[in-house]
Chains A and B, each alone.
Chain A
Amino acid sequence: MHLRAAFLLLAWSSLSSAAAGQGLPSEPLTFGGGRVVIGGDAAASMAPADTGFFNYGDYEHSTLRQVRIGFSGSVRANDRLSVLGELRVDNFQSVTPFALYARVRPFPRRRLDIQIGRIPPTFGSFTRHAYGNDNPLIGYPLAYQYLTSLRADSVPANADELLFMRGRGWLSNFSVGNLAPDRGLPLVTAFSWDTGVQVTTGWRALDVTAAVTNGSLSSPRVRDDNGGKQVVGRVTLQPVVGLILGASAARGQFARQSLVDALPASSDRRFIQRAFGADLEYSRDHWMVRADTVLSEWRIPAIAAPIIDRPLQAGAISAEGRYAFWPGMYAAARVERLTFNRIAGSTQTAEWDAPVTRVEIGGGYYLQRNVVARVSVQVNRRPGGRVHNLTLPAVQLLYWF
């Protein structure tokens, strides 16, 4: 009910302001002569029930059925120091301090920035595009949202347990660690940020970022509870205006300490996630295309037969395009595929999670510069889980200032 009411409220205010020839505020709030700046965005998305849990970021919330309100702010102390943060409210349920960090530029004229705190993601590009207007569609790419059956607080004792959970990442459970069913891990999460230190520098068309954080790509944390830091880096090159090439790599421990403590003493206690990513963006005139690939590998201990004798791998590839065919109107599409490597169980050899293919086609119409109405149709295919095929239409209203 909250979702529908919020959607209708946002629609009513947008349409009435447009009809009256007025506009909802489009500029951020500023105080203290521009030293304090506050922006915000609100997005209300509606879609039929996602019975296959293809779009869930956790057990309760689908990215196609949510109201998200965010307030971001920056406080600039001087040329060298700023503090930035963001609060988010999802479905009117809880207020989350999504980001809070200090940005230090020791030498104001040099391209060297140090960010400390709950920092923006270093890996990939979508996690920084996830903000309303930068995402041309309503759904999130599989690599940054889809829940595999792996968990940070629970681990399968053998390959059969893992194969049994194929396509059930929205609510998986294993026999070692936390026995309660809970959501699995995405390859890279777009729903929370990690905590640590990040350094970015650049020279001409090249930018390099490196960070050390408490969590991992799939399981970011505020506090380090397993003693294993993640090291992550990213390089971007802009050889010509409009073309951005990016490459990312990360390595970190993803399991919670409670899981490590629950393991037999003889087990290997290292739960390492390694990931590599490459992305491309090219835009010109009324076109923009992006491509993104993520390869992730999780190492989990072998506990019982039939043992999981190799690292668990997942690969995601996506390509999306947007074309503005009329002032204020655009069409967009994304095609993507998520695959997993094969492991041997007692009775079968199969991918350790069910591969997913997704196509999303949609478009947007700007009611005013900062109010966008979007529609999309998303087609999902997955040979596993309770629901194998699901087509989901969705609508979204987005406002930002």
Chain B
Amino acid sequence: MRPPALALVVAIGAVGALAAGAMPRTVVGAAAPAGSLRGRVDIRRNVPATERRPGVTDLSTAATPDVPDRRRAVVYLETAPGGAFEEREGQRARMDQRNETFLPHVLAITAGTVVDFPNNDSTYHNVFSLSKAKRFDLGRYARGRSKSIRFDRPGIVRVFCDIHSHMSAFILVFNHRYFATTDREGRYRIDRIPPGTYTVLAWHDGAPRDSRSVTIPETGGVELDFVVQ
């Protein structure tokens, strides 16, 4: 069974797999009680920072927003093990609005997670999304206040601010827990994967960029690197 909202993602990812760099290899001596998958996503494509639209109508210089970290990727199993979809946990996550930037720029969650959107700026923000997976509009609220949304359907949710056009972020909602967001160095790790053969995708900046097949052994782990070009 495949999450229907990710079907397109998978199809695009298969194309990206042609540009693959590394092959999966078993990590000898790994002490994981269950199979694990880890590795690195090497972002080699140019990722320009989002700039504010030219403020031609402004009477003064606008504040310089923070630069979002757009080099984060999400690695996930396209097809999860049987029973994974029943493992939903009621979780909570957070996406800050700070210095006219969403933090983090990419948030990966399981379906059913409630995401808080606190405003830490001295100006209004208005978080909204028109994505099919979740359409919402939190309205305008000031510093110190927070509003929340529960994401029930898997898919990709693009998040914007109605006031600041340069603010945007991604929320990837999965129907299972077999995903990980890369850290600053591009590393990721997915634990407690039942043995089996899976398709693994590396998503970055709006689309799956690379796709691999991997076999998770009964013991130990597998290291799988991706190159996004």
- A residues engaging B (CB < 8 A)? 21, 26-28, 30, 34, 37-39, 72-74, 82, 84-86, 99, 103, 105, 111, 113, 115, 120, 122, 128, 131, 198, 200, 202, 207, 209, 234, 241-242, 283-286, 288, 324, 326-328, 366, 368-370, 400-401
With A21-B8, A284-B140 given, is the CB distance from A369 to B158 under 8 Å? Answer: yes
Show 22 residue pairs from A and B whose CB-CB distance is below 8 angstroms, ordered by the A residue: A27-B50, A28-B52, A30-B48, A30-B51, A72-B53, A72-B56, A84-B55, A86-B54, A128-B58, A209-B59, A241-B124, A283-B124, A283-B140, A284-B141, A285-B139, A285-B140, A327-B135, A327-B136, A327-B137, A328-B128, A328-B137, A369-B160
Provide the bound-state CA to CA distance between A280 and B57, in Å: 18
A128-B57, A200-B60, A285-B141 provided; 10 other pairs, C-beta below 8 A? A74-B55, A84-B56, A85-B56, A105-B61, A209-B59, A283-B124, A283-B140, A284-B139, A368-B130, A369-B130
- Report the minimal beta-carbon distance from B208 to chain A, rounded to whole angstroms: 14
Interface membership of B49, Cβ < 8 A: yes
- Report the minimal beta-carbon distance from A237 to chain B, rounded to whole angstroms: 14
- Chain B hits for A370, CB < 8 A: 165
Contact (Cβ within 8 A) A328 B59: no
Provide the bound-state CA to CA distance between A174 and B129, in Å: 55
Interface membership of B192, Cβ < 8 A: no
Interface membership of B142, Cβ < 8 A: yes
- Chain A hits for B143, CB < 8 A: 241
- Chain A hits for B56, CB < 8 A: 72, 74, 84-86, 99, 120
Interface membership of B123, Cβ < 8 A: yes
Closest to B8 in A: A21
Provide the bound-state CA to CA distance between A37 and B69, in Å: 19
Q: Which of A21, A241, A328 contacts B142 (CB 8 A)?
A: A241
- Chain A hits for B59, CB < 8 A: 113, 115, 120, 122, 128, 198, 200, 207, 209, 234
With A39-B53, A74-B55, A120-B59 given, is the CB distance from A324 to B130 under 8 Å? Answer: no
- Report the minimal beta-carbon distance from B124 to chain A, rounded to whole angstroms: 6
- B residues engaging A (CB < 8 A)? 8, 48-61, 122-124, 128-130, 132, 135-137, 139-143, 158, 160, 165-166, 168
- Chain B hits for A200, CB < 8 A: 59-60
- Chain B hits for A202, CB < 8 A: 60
Contact (Cβ within 8 A) A37 B54: yes
Provide the bound-state CA to CA distance between A28 and B168, in Å: 13
Closest to A108 in B: B61
Provide the bound-state CA to CA distance between A84 and B145, in Å: 35
- Report the minimal beta-carbon distance from A42 to chain B, rounded to whole angstroms: 14
The 7 closest A-B pairs by CB, nearest first: A285-B139, A74-B54, A113-B60, A327-B137, A39-B53, A128-B57, A241-B142
Provide the bound-state CA to CA distance between A39 and B55, in Å: 10
- Chain A hits for B128, CB < 8 A: 327-328
Provide the bound-state CA to CA distance between A113 and B63, in Å: 13
- Chain B hits for A286, CB < 8 A: 137, 139-140
Provide the bound-state CA to CA distance between A316 and B124, in Å: 29
With A324-B139, A327-B136 given, is the CB distance from A37 to B52 under 8 Å? Answer: yes
Contact (Cβ within 8 A) A242 B140: yes
- Chain A hits for B61, CB < 8 A: 82, 103, 105, 113
Provide the bound-state CA to CA distance between A389 and B219, in Å: 82
- Report the minimal beta-carbon distance from B117 to chain A, rounded to whole angstroms: 14
Provide the bound-state CA to CA distance between A38 and B53, in Å: 7
Contact (Cβ within 8 A) A34 B48: yes
- Report the minimal beta-carbon distance from B97 to chain A, rounded to whole angstroms: 13
Q: Which of A26, A37, A111, A327 contacts B60 (CB 8 A)?
A: A111
Closest to A133 in B: B165
With A21-B8, A200-B59, A324-B137 given, is the CB distance from A242 to B142 under 8 Å? Answer: yes
Provide the bound-state CA to CA distance between A101 and B176, in Å: 54
Provide the bound-state CA to CA distance between A128 and B94, in Å: 35
- Chain A hits for B132, CB < 8 A: 21
Q: Which of A39, A120, A242 contacts B124 (CB 8 A)?
A: A242
Provide the bound-state CA to CA distance between A9 and B52, in Å: 28
- Report the minimal beta-carbon distance from B104 to chain A, rounded to whole angstroms: 18
- Chain B hits for A400, CB < 8 A: 53, 165
- Report the minimal beta-carbon distance from A20 to chain B, rounded to whole angstroms: 10
- Report the minimal beta-carbon distance from B186 to chain A, rounded to whole angstroms: 22
Provide the bound-state CA to CA distance between A57 and B138, in Å: 37
Provide the bound-state CA to CA distance between A328 and B51, in Å: 24
Provide the bound-state CA to CA distance between A286 and B59, in Å: 27
- Report the minimal beta-carbon distance from A39 to chain B, rounded to whole angstroms: 4
